[in-house]
């Protein structure tokens, strides 16, 4: 059940953005992180802080069982999933196969091997566009895209596995990095707000911006929402705060906690204008003014998760604000590892 004196934790998708930061946090907290990842989306370098790495597919029951036999984990943290909403609309079958069906195989396989504590990294997209904001855990499920539905289906599959206690963590947007540890996000396509804002402002090669679709610069979509400054409000959590929440959820289960669901949020969210203002300060670009565009169809005025339950039960609250997210993301995106990784993913970029 242990590697040396340290409890071993299996991390599916631990070569991805969030999983790699959680692996780092687990190691720092005294656990041994064993990463299982197909590397279809993840990066091998992102596993360097883990105790061990095994490459394979979560839908391959024999492979998953062999990893469990080799390392005897006491718990598992599940991250492996496709995450692009637009792609899920274009190819829903791929998302349901990977996010739902393969996840179900993974859950059943590890349970058969005696792993009965699971933390599932889910999404607040299962709530769709709720009527109540901030969103409580009791809000009705009404996902509006295959990504959200596939994650909800995986949650249901996990809670149906006999003998397994689980914590499901639901959250919206994750940002920032741990540049001092050499890890951060490196996505193609780049759909996340913070990288799309920062990359054009920090001297990223034009050829790279062109391939990432960022040459036209960042745009504010809609400035006439019923919010204090007219721009949409969204919830952002620093990836290291999110990693802390996963460690706390794991300890909760290992201490005998019952199956539970927690929303994770910043408390009040950040408007797009607030993020732009913070970027001006952090990047020392006081004259920066992004372009504006009409609202996008279907974009609600505000999406914020209510994390009061996570505070009361897990003792979790975010400690890093939007400026820390921007500063750490900037340091990461300026680094050679990020640039080389993106060039390799794009294949034919000349800089």
Catalytic residues: 147
Among candidate residues 333, 185, 13, 4, the one with its CA nearest the CA of residue 23: 13
Contact 46, 183 (CB under 8 A): yes
Q: Who's near 5: CB < 8 A, 6+ residues apart?
A: none
Task: Tell how strand 233-234 and strand 52-55 pair up.
Answer: unpaired
Check residue 269 and give left, alpha or beta (phi > 0: left; psi -120 to 50: alpha): left
Decide if 317 contacts 274 (C-beta within 8 A): no
Tell me how far apart the alpha carbons of residues 152 and 146 are, in angstroms, rounded to a whole number.
Answer: 10
Q: What is the DSSP string of 213-243?
A: T-TT--EEE-S-SSSTTSS-EE-EEEHHHHH
Residue listed under structure tokens 């370098």: 45
* Strand pairing class (6-12; 32-37): parallel
Query: Do 146 and 88 meet the contact criterion of CB atoms below 8 Å apart?
Result: yes
Q: Are 205 and 278 in contact (CB under 8 A)?
A: no
Residues 195-198: contacts with CB under 8 Å, at least 24 apart: 195/329, 195/333, 197/275, 197/276, 197/279, 197/290, 198/279, 198/283, 198/326, 198/329, 198/330, 198/333
In the chain, how long is the greatest CA-to-CA distance?
59
Distance CA 87, CA 73 (A): 33
């Amino acid at each position: 059940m242990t590697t040396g004196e340290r409890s071993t934790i299996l991390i599916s998708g631990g070569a991805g953005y969030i999983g790699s930061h959680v692996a780092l946090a687990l190691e720092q907290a005294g656990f041994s992180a064993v990463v299982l990842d197909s590397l279809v989306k993840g990066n091998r370098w992102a596993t360097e802080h883990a105790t061990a790495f095994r490459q394979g597919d979560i839908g391959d029951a024999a492979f998953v069982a062999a990893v469990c036999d080799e390392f005897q984990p006491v718990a598992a943290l599940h991250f492996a999933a496709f995450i692009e909403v637009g792609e899920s609309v274009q190819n829903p079958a791929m998302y349901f196969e990977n996010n739902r069906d393969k996840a179900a195989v993974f859950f059943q396989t590890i349970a058969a091997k005696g792993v009965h504590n699971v933390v599932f990294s889910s999404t607040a997209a299962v709530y769709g566009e709720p009527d109540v904001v901030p969103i409580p855990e009791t809000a009705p499920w009404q996902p509006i895209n295959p990504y959200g539905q596939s994650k909800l289906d995986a949650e249901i599959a996990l809670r149906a596995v006999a003998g397994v206690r689980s914590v499901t963590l639901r959250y919206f947007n994750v940002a920032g990095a741990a540049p001092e540890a050499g890890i951060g996000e490196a996505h193609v396509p780049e759909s996340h707000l913070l990288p799309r804002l920062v990359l054009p402002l920090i001297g990223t090669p034009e050829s790279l911006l062109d391939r990432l679709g960022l040459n036209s610069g960042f745009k504010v979509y809609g400035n006439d929402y019923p919010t204090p400054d007219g721009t949409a409000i969204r919830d952002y959590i620093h990836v290291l705060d999110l990693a802390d929440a996963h460690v706390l959820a794991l300890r909760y289960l290992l201490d005998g906690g019952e199956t539970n669901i927690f929303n994770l949020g910043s408390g009040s969210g950040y408007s797009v204008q607030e993020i732009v203002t913070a970027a001006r300060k952090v990047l020392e670009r006081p004259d920066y003014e992004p372009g504006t565009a009409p609202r996008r169809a279907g974009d609600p005025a505000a999406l914020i998760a209510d994390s009061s339950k996570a505070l009361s039960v897990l003792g979790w609250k975010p400690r890093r604000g939007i400026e820390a997210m921007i500063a750490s993301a900037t340091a990461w995106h300026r680094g050679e590892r990020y640039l080389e990784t993106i060039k390799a993913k794009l294949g034919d970029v000349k800089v």
